[in-house]
Structure 1
Amino acid sequence: MERRDTEPGTIEREIHVAATPEVVYEVVSRPEHLREWWPDDAELGEPVPGAEGEIVFGRRGEPDAVVERLTVVEADPPRTFSFRWTHAPGEAATAATSLLVTFALEGTATGTRVRLTETGFRERGWEVAVLEQRYAEHVEGWDHFVPRLQAYLDRLVLAP
């Protein structure tokens, strides 16, 4: 996994997987696949611009569960899938209220180059200490989940 982070503004991760861009697109845009590598639960209808859903870390309904809303921004199969998340209930997903995650997929001779980018930390208007803490949490999170994405895709490719 290649890391290119700018403190504390943009998180970038890049991996190469043997799966085709079509398979990778499904894995990063469909709840049944998201649950296998990222959140414990996910709900999202058709992955089209404007679609809303949520992801849950932990057991839904439990006091320590973290529920994050997400809104699809771009859905261009099999090249790009992006969404805004971390906006508060009742808030619209905008640059001032949410972070933007983009999966850019590029087919290669041996599979797909997957580039994940998360931006919008500075635009949130957080105090410096909060900005640095949230950024560090997301860096740690993607460092954990991107290898899980890669492993899940590897399992799908190897499955009979």
Structure 2
Amino acid sequence: MDEFGTLERRIHIDAAPEVVFGVVSSPEHLREWWPDEADYPVVPGGAGRIRFGDSWVQFTVVDAVPPRRFAFRWTHPEGEPAGPGNSYLVVFDLEPAGSPVGSATLLRMTESGFRERGWDEAKVAAEYAEHTTGWDLFLPRLPGVVARVSS
């Protein structure tokens, strides 16, 4: 794996994968822990957008397999289909954990697409650093949202 190729985080969440899947996939719950606004259908190929502050970015669902995987591409130019050369790919893989099995979830988040954008090394490093900081801020919010949703 190249440096700045894929960002990966793992987080243990004390809730069943079905609950965690809903929080990482539905626009209603996504905006409780990540963007300020989200509007998209939770189906493969579902296109929409998410907002951070005053900036809207494109968002396309790639895969939605409850309660195991939710994947999307984001930041592609409006009017263009999302693909490896124009967007980031984020994948949430959910694995049952805990005792009894399934009472908790091991969530693995990966984000790739930094090198595929055709940027120079400085731009790739800057984008990777910005996304690293972002995910380190937003992912720790997940357990609290999941706890509210599951109670």
Q: Does TM, scored on the shorter chain, surpass 0.5?
A: yes
What corresponds to 1:23 in structure 2? 19
What corresponds to 1:61 in structure 2? none
Letter of the structure 1 residue corresponding to residue 142 of structure 2: L
- Matched ranges for 1:123-142 at <5 A: 123-142=116-135
> TM-score, structure 2 length as denominator?
0.92
Partners of 2:14 and 2:143 within 8 A in 1:
no
Does residue 98 of structure 2 align to residue 103 of structure 1?
no
> Matches of 1:156 and 1:30 in 2, distance apart?
12
- Runs (4+) of structure 1 moved beyond 4 Å? none
Q: 2:109 aligns with which of 103, 116, 139?
A: 116
Measured after TM superposition, the shift of residue 48 of structure 1 is 1.1
Does residue 32 of structure 2 align to residue 36 of structure 1?
yes
Percent of residue pairs identical: 54
Would the alpha carbon gap of residues 122 and 29 (structure 1) be closer, same or farther in structure 2, given more than 3 Å must change? same
Partners of 2:5 and 2:112 within 8 A in 1:
yes
Letter of the structure 1 residue corresponding to residue 146 of structure 2: L
Measured after TM superposition, the shift of residue 127 of structure 1 is 1.2
What corresponds to 1:62 in structure 2? none
What corresponds to 2:10 in structure 1? 14
> Matches of 1:80 and 1:28 in 2, distance apart?
10
What corresponds to 2:58 in structure 1? 69
Letter of the structure 1 residue corresponding to residue 147 of structure 2: D
Would the alpha carbon gap of residues 37 and 6 (structure 1) be closer, same or farther in structure 2, given more than 3 Å must change? farther
> Matches of 2:79 and 2:34 in 1, distance apart?
24
- Matched ranges for 1:146-157 at <5 A: 146-157=139-150
> Matches of 1:91 and 1:133 in 2, distance apart?
24
> TM-score, structure 1 length as denominator?
0.87
Letter of the structure 1 residue corresponding to residue 106 of structure 2: R
| DSSP-derived class of the 2:84 partner | coil
Question: Which residues of structure 2 form unaligned runs of 5+?
Answer: none
